[in-house]
Amino acid sequence: MIGAADLAVLFVWGTAVGVDLVTGPQVMIARPLVAGAVAGWLLGDPGTGLLLGVLFELFQYDVLPVGASRYPEYGPATVAAVAAAHGVSGPAGLALGALVGLATGVAGGASLGIVRRLNTAAVRAAAPRLESGDPRTLARLHAAGVARDGARAAAVTALGLGLAALARTLVAGTLAPSALALAAAAAGGAALAAAMNGTLRLVGRGPDVRWLAAGVVAGTLLVWLR
């Protein structure tokens, strides 16, 4: 059980992480590895935070945030995932975290589109004043954009933390450990598949494939030697 104070801190952290993704300052606290590690540290559970950070960082490799593309939002999702997995040891925690985080990530991605449409409507309404070069209109529109994204990030984080509480009550208590281990294996496998897919798309079929292969060999050796 996570106390109200911890929930409040996670809510603030998740909101900050959500705002960092697009609005700014884009210092990459929105990356799952960072969002998860800090969420785990805030709960006094750094191992869980780091593990779920790695899980969602692998999912993130499948995302290339160019132009108006639509993509899942994994920052607040990872914070919610850590909340779901906190105190649930082993594969069960990974399964709960993956389930909550992936659902939150899809919802977060959809919410980005809503904010973009609201921004578009506001800009259209203010078009004549913008054309006249009114700096106050410019500042107001921009501040409204920040506020909209802040509200969006807060709503996504709240949804994720709510889902985490629900999953801990409904899923963790009713399913056998083996069923949760199966789900953890499925989530981990999907994350690795997403990471491989995204990496292969980035690397392409050119000469950099050799560097990718060298990295895989070196990484495998390092894991084996650990």
Partner 1 sequence: MTPPLGATFLRLFGVQASWNYDRMIGIGVGLAEEPLLRELGRAEGDAVYRAAVGRGAGFFNSHPYLAGLAVGATARAEYDHVPPEQIERLRAALCGPLGSLGDRLVWAGWLPFVSGLAVAAAVLGAGPAAVVGFLVVYNAGHVGLRWWALRAGWDHGMRVAAALHAPALQRAARLTAPAMAFAAGLALPAGGAALSGVEPVWARAVFIGVTVAGLGVLSWLRTMVDGARLGLAATALALVVGGLLW
Q: How far apart are CA 114 and CA 105, in angstroms?
A: 15
Residues 2 to 21 in contact with partner 1, rule: CB under 8 A: none
Stretch that binds partner 1, among 3-11, 132-140, 151-159 (CB under 8 A): 132-140
List C-alpha distances in Å: 12 to 8, 49, 145, 217.
Answer: 6, 16, 19, 40
Question: Using the rule CB under 8 A, is 84 a contact of partner 1?
Answer: no
Which pair of structure tokens corresponds to residue 192? 């690795």
Q: Does 220 bind partner 1 (CB under 8 A)?
A: yes
Q: Which of residues 186-215 bind partner 1 (CB under 8 A)?
A: 186-199, 202-203, 207-209, 211-215
Q: Is 114 in the site for partner 1 (CB under 8 A)?
A: no
The correct pick among 12, 146, 166, 169 for binding partner 1 (CB under 8 A) is 146
Q: With binding defined as CB under 8 A, does residue 132 bind partner 1? A: yes
Tracing tokens 């997995």 back to the chain, one arrives at: 85
Q: Measured from the CB atom, is 26 or 169 closer to partner 1?
A: 26
The binding track of 20-39 with respect to partner 1, each residue x by CB under 8 A or -, is --xxxxxxxx-x-xx--xx-
Among 41, 87, 151, 158, binds partner 1 (CB under 8 A): 41
**Angle between the N-to-C axes of helices 90-125 and 75-85, in degrees from 0 to 180, rounded to the nearest 10:** 150
Per CB under 8 A, the segment of 5-13, 53-61, 155-163 that binds partner 1 is: 53-61
- The interface region with partner 1, picked from 1-9, 10-18, 126-134, 152-160 by CB under 8 A, is 126-134
Helix extents (H) in 126-225: 127-131, 135-170, 177-203, 208-225
Is 109 one of the binding residues for partner 1 (CB under 8 A)?
yes
Does position 75 interact with partner 1 (CB under 8 A)? The reply is: no
| 99-121 b/e (C-beta count within 10 Å ≥ 16 → b) | bbbbbbbebbbebbeebeebbee
CB 100 within 8 A of CB 84: yes
